[in-house]
A = this chain, B = another copy of it.
Amino acid sequence: MEKIPFNKPHLTGKETHYIYDAVNAGKISGNGKYTKLCQDYLKERYSFRKCLLTTSCTDALEMAALLIDIKPGDEVIMPSYTFVSTANAFVLRGAKIIFADSREDHPGIDEDSIEALITSKTKAIVPVHYAGVACDMDKIMALADKYDLFVIEDAAQAIESFYTGKDGIKRALGSIGHLAAFSFHETKNIISGEGGMLAINDPQFMAKAEIIWEKGTNRSAFFRGEVDKYGWVAVGSSFLPSEIIAAFLWAQLENLDDIQTKRLQHWNKYHEGLKEWAMENDIRLPGIPDFATNNAHMFYLVCKDLEQRNVVIDNLKSNGILAVFHYLSLHKSPFYLDQHDGRNLVNADRYTDCVVRLPFFYELEKDAINFIKNELYEAVKNI
């Protein structure tokens, strides 16, 4: 058996064809034909008001922090169990991060713990849809309404995932908060190497987002003929990706349904093969709440403790299978430990110690999943 990597970027076949096309059209800087194709497609498919491609999900989060005008002293509530970029984007603007714990039954933010963290300084809540599984957005949006806060969905892993609220309407993740950030990093379902997207749902941000994206200039309005010259009108950055990246992404988006079908097959195969074994060994498999759908972004186990996880990772590794842990609680990071208010976040710490992600990518064969499953059986038997 060959080695099984944790991730393998999937090529749909037309990526380089579209890159050639972009180059031959003489336009490889940002905001060209492929950027527009991707943006229009994503906007329509997921009912965003507007969306803008970015060079990373990190950059999309930074745009969000600029849009809601985060200032030094503002507080932003987010889970501790998340990627550093969720926090960095707001720290860069001077915010204090108030870390919330994860749910007992899921690594996502514990929605019921949020209200107690809100103060007069709170400006935003940033729910992270861990593994592409929705947070309970009704609860979060109700808090935002009650306390006049912004909600920025960290939807890095959440493409093609949905939430059905109490009104019975099924909405795409990223279309519910005021703003949302997606990732097209090579480890995601739909990829462009590095890459991301900002989704804009609150209309007050539509014009401003475009300006920030274009280096603080009103260049987009100029090209639409809305202003007669363009200049420096606000602070901004260069958030837009090259057309090379957008062309690559377009080839992926054209195959979104195929990619999702295949990934769901892998996910179900894992789940089917592991559910009894997991119960017998005090290991938890990912659960999908009734209000959420499954986008098959990843397949992870929550081991019963750190020791069990170490055995699993080491045993798989010695059999050529790369399974990996995930985030380290940010409230205990070298950078933020002193700034955290000392609250214990037991679930975040448990996921830090106990989550292990299994190999997951389009080309993963049925045989490979069986092999991984059997090696998991063996690993845990030996504890």
Contact = CB atoms under 8 A, between A and B. Distances in A.
A335 B232 contact: yes
A302 interface: no
A207 interface: no
Nearest to A58: B238
Q: How many copies, total?
A: 2
23 contacts: A9-B28, A27-B186, A29-B185, A55-B194, A55-B241, A56-B238, A58-B215, A72-B72, A83-B215, A84-B236, A88-B232, A88-B235, A88-B236, A193-B242, A193-B243, A195-B242, A229-B328, A231-B333, A231-B334, A232-B328, A232-B336, A233-B335, A235-B335
A217 B9 contact: no
Interface string A173-209: 0000000000001110001111100000000000000
A59 interface: yes
Given A85-B215, A215-B85, A231-B333, A20 B16 contact: yes
Chain A's interface: helix, strand, loop or mixed, by majority? loop
Interface in A1-52: 5, 7-9, 11, 15-16, 19-20, 23, 26-30
Contacts of A89: 237
Interface in A77-96: 83-85, 87-89, 91-92
A236 B335 CA distance: 11
A322 B217 CA distance: 22
A124 B62 CA distance: 25
A240 interface: yes
A244 B237 contact: no
A29 B193 contact: yes
A234 B92 contact: no
Contacts of A57: 238
A250 to B, nearest CB: 13
Given A56-B238, A92-B237, A244-B245, A216 B335 contact: yes
A175 to B, nearest CB: 24
B192 A242 contact: yes
Contacts of A150: none
A330 interface: yes
A270 interface: no
Nearest to A83: B215
A227 to B, nearest CB: 10
Given A84-B232, A88-B216, A232-B334, A238 B59 contact: yes
A37 B185 CA distance: 21
Contact of A59 (B72, B85, B237): B237
A248 interface: yes
Contact of A91 (B19, B62, B235): B235
